Structures are given as structure tokens and as C-alpha cells.
A and B are shown apart, each in its own frame.
Chain A
Amino acid sequence: MIEKDHIQPIIAAYLSGKATDKERCELEEWVKQSPDNNHYFQEMRNVWQVMNPAFNPSEIDVFAAEKNIFVNIAATKRNITRTILLYWQRAAAILVIPLLILCAFLYLDKDSSRDTIEYQEVKSPHGTFSEVRLPDGTNVWLNGGSSLRYPLAFRKGERNVFLNGEGYFEVHSDKENPFIVKTDQMTLRATGTAFNIEAYNIDSITAVTMVSGKIDVAFGNSSPVTMVPGERVSFNNQSRECLIAKTDPYKWYAWKDGLMIFRDDPLSYVFKRLGLTFNVNIELKDSALANSPYRATFEYESLDEILRLLKMSAPLSFKQNKRVKDKDNIYEKQTIEVYKAK
């Protein structure tokens, strides 16, 4: 048997964490040898532990801890009460629902319109634009081929309208009831501002141009972006890419004054624009033309006139295809092919 004088330094080394593996094994063997040894070791360790506490005991706040635990106890109890309440609420609901239905039947005739919102829809024919005044005083211009759905009367809290196509909004200022425009791909929130939205569902781009004020725009499920005047944000409906650029805003909503402004815009954009406004497919047959910059301002012109002016100012030629009927006997969109003039 190893004497205590020998094991003592090993225990001390073990307790202070300095024991080697060999010493540790030796200590283990010694502790296993007899219950007395085990008892001795445990007492030594006990003394060491209480003499060298891991934390300063005065830093342990018993009262704060007790307060905390009573809060926890109260929280658990409340949960139980809530479960019981929930049960009774359900039971009550089961009894109340038939009663409600009965009441609803009795009152339906009198009050049928109170809780449903009636919507009105305005459409602007291709090749022209129209102006709408909403019940809250907001003015909306709808570009050709666009439609706006809005409630006959706005309810408190939110002014929701739905747009397909292009619209220029001058929102009547009302901070408490934000004005919300929804399109297929976007939700825009404004109070009192002016902005232009391009959201033709046949186009691959949804875009907003800020004229004045402040708005938040959210595309798809993304979080809202705040826009300031002079910014144009465009969102690619397919790639979900979002691009913000500085711009001269008037260029983007000049259509409401009967103007079509192009400022060094690529021809591909000019034809896309014309196609959306006049409901025609304009196909660029010469890819070299697509990026040629074009500069022009058209004022209240028809498509034919614009094409004539384009032909005069750029080396282009057009081939207007005959319109064909689809299987429902309806004429399909006209297609115009664009070639480089020889």
C-alpha cells in the first residue's frame, strides 16, 4: 500500500489540474484500493473545491435569481390557465357560431354592402391614355392598354388599388391612410407623392420612377426598398434582379401629356415602348439595330405617323404583316417587322 505521504502530492496535482496521465492512473488505482482511500480522496477534493470556488460567491445574486424563478413559476401557471381558457373559448365558439349564422341571415338583407368592398375598374384603350380621379382625391393617368381597379369608397387604414399596365399617380396626401398600389410583381406604399409605374403583365420588367415625395416598394417577396425623387427602380420579373438608377423622371411619365420622349434610348426600347402603347408586336429583324441610340419626342402622334417619322430619321424599313385570325375568330395582334434600310 502506498503511504499517504506519497499520494498527497498527487492528489494536490490532480485537484489543481496539473496531474500527468500517469499520476492520474496511479491515483485512480489508489482510490479503488479501499473505501478508506476513496473517502480520503473525496474529502480532500471537497476541501479543495470549497476553498477554491469557481466563482466569487459574493457575485451570485440570490435575490435576483429568486425573483427570476418566481417569474418563471408565474409564467408556467399562466400557460395552464390559458390552456383552460382556450378550451372554454373553443366550447363557447362551438355554441356561438350557429347563433352568429342565424343573426347573419336575419341581418343580411339590411346590411349586405357594409362589409364587402365594391370595386370599380377603369381601362385605357391602346394608343391613348386616360385620367381618373379616385374617391380620395388621388389623380391617376393610365397609359394605353392599362387598367386600374379601385374601391368605390376607401376604407379606413389603407387605400388599396390594383394596377396592370402603366400609370402615373399623384397621390392625395394622407399619412394615416397609406396609399398602396399592387401589381403582379410589386407592392408600393406611399402617403402623398407622385410616381410612375410600368407594370404591363406582358412585359418582362416592372419599374417605378419617383417624381416627388417618398415611397416604399417591395418586389415579389423581397423586403421594401425606399425610393427618393429622381430614382428609377426596375425589376426583372424573370431573373428577379432589381436595378436602381438616377434618371430625369419626366421622360418616364411625359406620356400623360401626350408626349413620347426618347433620349438616346436603344431602338429595342423604342419599339418595345411603341408596342406596349399601341398594342402591336414590333420585331427587330436586324440585331445590329437593337442598340443604336435614338433621340426623339413625339407629341400626340398615331402609330403610323411615328413609324413614318422614324423611317425618315433613321435607316429603317418596316414590313407590316396582315393581321391573322386565331381559332376563336379574333384578330391577333398586328406584327411589324423592322429591317435595316438598304
Chain B
Amino acid sequence: MGKLDKQQEYFVMSALRQDSKEAFSLLFQTYYTDLVLFCGNFVKDKDSCEDIVQSIFLKLWNDRKNIQIEISLKSYLLKAVRNSCLDEFRHIEIVRQYETEYGSSVLDNYDTENYILYSDLYAHLSRALEKIPDLYKEAFVLNRFEGLKYREIAEKLNVSERTVEVRVSKTLDLLRKQLKDFFVFLISIGIP
């Protein structure tokens, strides 16, 4: 699901202020999965994450008349998730030491405005993959998305293991070029 651009977001937010459930539903479907996954970086229980994100949306609905989005809705929602997680930690009273440490380190700062969401990455990745010839792509998808080993792919496609290796690395090369402007460092650890 593609993200909203600035103008779409403006329209959706003004519809939301006028009690539009459709607008709310659109926002929910656009951001829910990404926010739960973002939440998963801090809280490791899936149900708790879903609860946290649902509370944020409930609050968004209840405060819809007075809500002020300063930078972007994405940034607003990510910050809300992050703060709720910190609250959650205080709530469960995880080891005090951790609590004081957590959120105070520079390593825990988030540039929410420029954060790339899970769906953003996959939208780009699949767009980039579309431009890669099927012959190369097939081996890559089997390897990276379906978790098959080179040997298994070789058997399946009836080619040599070496051929599989070549095709995967060729796809990686093409992806690197495709994604270069999107994400400079994607390659360095994400796709080794």
C-alpha cells in the first residue's frame, strides 16, 4: 500500500476532522502494519504492539477535532508509538537500570520524519524487482524471499549451483543500481 503524499494527507486529515470514518479507515489501513512493526523494535510481544497501535488510532479518532500535525502524519504516528512504548516500559517497570538507560542514549534517538517504513522498503524493492529480467529475478526471489538454499534452487530450476549464484548476484547488482537513489546504504548490510 503506497503512502500518502503531502496533499493527500492534508485532504484526509481535514476529512477526519469532519468525522469521516472513511478517512480514518484509510489512515488505519495505510499505517497499521508499519506501526506495529515499528513498535516491534521496542516491545517484543505482537499482541502488546497491536494494542499500543490501536490505542494510538483510538486517540487519533477521539482527538480528531483538535489534532495538530506539525511535520507529517507519519512522524506524528511514529513518535506516538515510540512514546507509548516508553510509557509501556515504565508501566511494566522493567529493570530500573534499563529504564533510566533507555531513551536517554543517542543510539535511541529516532529521526521519525525520515524513517523508512517496512512497506516503503518493500514498495521500492518490488518496483525495482519489476525492472529485472525474470530469468535472474526467479532465483533471487526463491533465495531471499522464500529462503531456499542455492542447491535447492539449482535442483528446482534444473541448473547448476554456480548458475544460481551468478543469477542472484546479478540481480543484486541490478537492485543496487535501482535502489541507489532511494537508499544508499541498503546494500551494505540489508542485502549483503
Contact = CB atoms under 8 A, between A and B. Distances in A.
Contacts, number: 100
Contacts of A41: 107
A11 B53 CA distance: 28
Nearest to B31: A62
A72 B62 CA distance: 11
A76 B33 contact: no
A62 B29 contact: yes
Contact of B121 (A8, A51, A66): A51
Interface residues of B, number: 41
**6 A-B pairs with the lowest CB-CB distances in the bound complex, closest first:** A54-B40, A50-B121, A51-B190, A53-B37, A47-B190, A50-B118
Given A43-B184, A65-B32, A53 B40 contact: yes
Contact of B33 (A24, A38, A54, A60): A60
Contacts of A8: 188
B107 A27 contact: yes
A62 B1 CA distance: 12
Contacts of A28: 105-107
A228 interface: no
A68 interface: yes
Contacts of A54: 37, 40-41, 44, 46, 49
A44 B186 CA distance: 8
A46 interface: yes
Given A31-B107, A59-B46, A65-B32, A53 B54 contact: no
Interface residues of A, number: 38
B172 interface: no
A152 interface: no
A48 B189 contact: yes
A24 B118 CA distance: 26
Contacts of A11: 189
Interface in B28-55: 28-29, 32-33, 36-38, 40-41, 44, 46, 49-50, 53-54
Contacts of A73: 58, 61
A196 B184 CA distance: 90
A270 to B, nearest CB: 64
A51 B28 CA distance: 23
A40 interface: yes
B25 interface: yes
27 contacts: A14-B107, A28-B106, A28-B107, A32-B106, A42-B111, A43-B183, A43-B185, A44-B185, A44-B188, A47-B121, A47-B185, A47-B190, A48-B189, A48-B190, A49-B38, A50-B117, A50-B120, A53-B40, A54-B49, A55-B36, A55-B37, A55-B49, A60-B32, A62-B29, A69-B28, A72-B54, A76-B62
Contacts of A76: 58, 62
A189 B54 CA distance: 48
